[in-house]
Amino acid sequence: KKFDFKPVIEVLPTRQSQVDSVRDLVYSLPFYDGLLLNKENHVFLMAITLEQAKLNNKNRIKLVNAITELSDIYGTRHNLKPRYSGLPYIRIITSKKLEEELLFFVKLALIIASVILLVFFKSFKAMFFPMLIVIVSIIWGIGIMSLLGFKITMLTGIFPPLLMVIVVENCIFLLNKYYSEFKSHGNKVRSLSRVVQRIGSANLLTNATTAAGFAAFIVTGNKLLVEFGIVASLSILSAYILSLMLIPIFFSYLPPPKAKHVKHLDKGLVKWIVGRVVYIVQNYRTTIYITTSVLLMAAVFGMLKLETTGSIVDDIPKEDALYKDLMFFEDNFKGVMPLEISIDTKKQKGVMKLSTINRIDKLQKVLAEYPELSKALSIAEVVKFSKQAFYGGNEKMYSMPNNREKDFIFSYAPKMENGKKTIMNSFVDSTLQYTRISTQMANIGTYDIQRIQEELKPRIDSIFPPAKFDVQLTGTSLVFLKGTKYLVNNLFTSLLLALVIITILMALLFTSIRMILISLVPNIIPLLMTAAMMGFTGISIKPSTVLIFSIALGISVDNAIHFLSRYRLQLKLNNWRIKDSAIAALSETGFSMIYSSIVLFFGFIIFTLSTFGGTEAMGYLIAFTLVVALFSNLFLLPSLILTLDQRITTRTFKEPMLEIFDEEEDIELADLEIEQIDTRGSA
């Protein structure tokens, strides 16, 4: 004795009356309501299962396209609109979009960087050769990724444009120094030599701090972030070597710069801006401190508004067809994100006890109270469906059997068959000790996921006493919740690690602890301001937004390093006169700080064109951080040095652990001529 399972549609209908009969039959089966159909909205669901091997195959996009193309043809023929969703589908489509965006961002970054270099230096050569180095650096970066066996992900996919702006920043500092040196004495060879001596070592430190910001992700333990950190840090250091070697080599073969190539150092908008900055720093330091204090108080207020939340697909824009289809599934079937409840009865054949199945049914009624959860599917639904079948398909008999009904209904139930996919082994194991309840969850945030989990735990324990049953909640949504908490905590740890590493690297150049602390203050303030902006604009703390802080810190501190390096050199040239040295350093490095920040700003702002929310937020936030960091390093850092003067410019600052300039080469040509005149006079 056993149930004879037959397809609902044994013969394809050819008349409308046959179709109506099939519909009435399906509507009379409560088992399918909420699972494969929505009777109220007349929506039907077709479930397609993809093999794991197909999901990891590079032809998966072709497979999905073939399925959707077939469905669209059917929809067009019958005036229907097919909708598509499910985690495998979402992942495949987002990876396809990612590949398209990667190419777009690389092209756009190349165009923007080329235009900016051309505008700044008014020389095709000053644009062409840095861009050549950029292309080689990107090839090296992709080569490193390939050698390490890493695949293109959402993070490694955005790295080529990031690397591009970092390389261009290196080239700007090198070229600015080359042009300023050539303008001062007209000797091309001496200019290139000083570029390597004076900027090369400072660039080593700036690139090391930037690489440290990325390398800090390695400690997060997240596979995507670890790969991103490794590829980014190695690529940045290799790009530094390329730019330092190739810029002097290329320009040694080129004719000396013409007057039009260096006139930006004497006049123009940037020259005027630098002049105004110097004037404000000299005369309005109190105003700078008051403004900074007000902004910091506002930052504290904004940071209090920060929230930690996020959903599995919150990076997909709401106007995207992918998101709209997901919402359609949620409206009609409550969601597509799997949530599983596993139940261990701690006894063989414990699942088949009517008391256990009644407990499962009771838990399903609890789950039905949550609008975020879809209809649950379990052995209890199979038993109720079996009872309905036993009573000739009577819709009213879709309910739990009593003890008398249980015996003869179970005798008709399909047996467990090893190696075969039956309705029974979809829900229970071969020993009949373990079973599961399957449901789907809407695309809700981590706060709501945690709320549901915390509310369900005591209610589950009241139905399934922990002494007799072991019940575990799992599924994509809960894994995402745990992963988000873990990742956010680790990203904050990586930020602290990046700060420590950057501090150690700066200690090699500025052995004065006071000077290191002073240099970090203007670069921590932008991070606080960015956190405040997130609070004011409602951008939540999640993995895609937390990671920007380490990146921004590693990049923004570059300006402070270049300024302080030049400041220490000016101390030697100005006989340790602090005010003159600080103003001279600001006047000289101001150009490069502004130029490089403009390149970095536009390099990151292009990510706001992304269709992924996380990438878009990264573009806005890092661009904002870099703008604040530029103002902070232009105004606040020199002001602090001038105000604190002798208290921070100690002998340890004058004598660094790592000497990045050759003192003999640091003597200017004009000084040499003066010494020669004095010598002849005394003779």
| Total Cβ atoms within 10 A of residue 411 | 9
Query: In the prediction, which pLDDT does 673 show?
Result: 44
Q: Once rounded to an integer, what is the mean pLDDT over residues 448-461?
A: 90
Please check whether residue 401 is in contact with residue 409, taking contact to mean a CB–CB distance below 8 angstroms: yes
φ/ψ (deg, to 5) at 407:
-60, -50
Instruction: Identify the weakest region by mean pLDDT among 119-128, 370-379, 591-600, 656-665.
Output: 656-665
Cα angle, residue 360 at apex, residues 356 and 366 outer, rounded to 5°: 145
Q: What is the DSSP string of 555-624?
A: HHHHHHHHHHHHHHHHHHHTTT-HHHHHHHHHHHHHHHHHHHHHHHHHHHHGGGG-SSHHHHHHHHHHHH
Map tokens 């300039």 to a residue.
661
- 3-class secondary-structure state, position 550: helix
Report d(CA 622, CA 273) in Å as an integer.
Answer: 23
Q: Taking 60 as the threshold, does the pLDDT of residue 383 lie above it? A: yes
Please check whether residue 491 is in contact with residue 500, taking contact to mean a CB–CB distance below 8 angstroms: no
Q: Which residue has the higher pLDDT, 667 or 239?
A: 239
Instruction: Identify the weakest region by mean pLDDT among 86-90, 132-136, 245-249.
Output: 86-90
How sure is the predictor about 674, in pLDDT bands with cuts at 50, 70 and 90? very low
Query: In the prediction, which pLDDT does 463 show?
Result: 93
Please check whether residue 404 is in contact with residue 430, taking contact to mean a CB–CB distance below 8 angstroms: no
Please check whether residue 628 is in contact with residue 526, taking contact to mean a CB–CB distance below 8 angstroms: yes
Query: In the prediction, which pLDDT does 662 show?
Result: 42
Is the backbone of residue 311 left (phi > 0), alpha (psi -120 to 50) or beta? Answer: beta
Instruction: Identify the weakest region by mean pLDDT among 22-31, 246-255, 410-419.
Output: 410-419
Please check whether residue 623 is in contact with residue 601, taking contact to mean a CB–CB distance below 8 angstroms: yes
Write down the number of H helices and E strands in the chain.
26, 5
Report d(CA 35, CA 45) in Å as an integer.
Answer: 8
Query: In the prediction, which pLDDT does 186 show?
Result: 79
pLDDT > 90: percent of the chain: 11
Closest Cα partner for 360 from 415, 427, 295, 303? 427
Q: What is the pLDDT of residues 497-524, one digit of tens each?
A: 778 877 787 777 666 777 778 888 888 8
Burial category of 672 from C-beta neighbours within 10 Å (exposed 0-12, middle 13-18, buried 19 and up): exposed
Q: Once rounded to an integer, what is the mean pLDDT over residues 52-60?
A: 73
Q: What is the pLDDT of residues 116-172, one digit of tens each?
A: 888 888 888 888 998 899 889 988 988 888 898 887 776 777 778 888 888 888 888
Query: In the prediction, which pLDDT does 261 show?
Result: 61
Report d(CA 120, CA 262) in Å as an integer.
Answer: 10
- 3-class secondary-structure state, position 635: helix
Q: Once rounded to an integer, what is the mean pLDDT over residues 415-433?
A: 69
Domain ranges in the chain are 90-262+481-671, 326-478
Query: In the prediction, which pLDDT does 364 show?
Result: 92
The distance in angstroms from the start CA to the end CA of the chain is 126
pTM for the full model?
0.76
Query: In the prediction, which pLDDT does 471 show?
Result: 92
Q: Taking 90 as the threshold, does the pLDDT of residue 294 lie above it? A: yes
Within 8 A by CB and 6+ apart from 309, the residues are 445, 446, 447, 540, 541, 542
- 3-class secondary-structure state, position 428: strand
Query: In the prediction, which pLDDT does 496 show?
Result: 82
Instruction: Identify the weakest region by mean pLDDT among 297-311, 425-439, 546-560.
Output: 546-560
Instruction: Identify the weakest region by mean pLDDT among 25-29, 443-447, 453-457, 650-654.
Output: 650-654
Q: Once rounded to an integer, what is the mean pLDDT over residues 403-421?
A: 66
The secondary structure element, H or E, covering residue 371 is none
Task: Provide the b/e sequence for 34-56 (b: ≥16 CB within 10 Å).
Answer: bbebbeeeeeebeeeebeeeeee
φ/ψ (deg, to 5) at 501:
-65, -45
The total number of residues shown for the chain amounts to 683
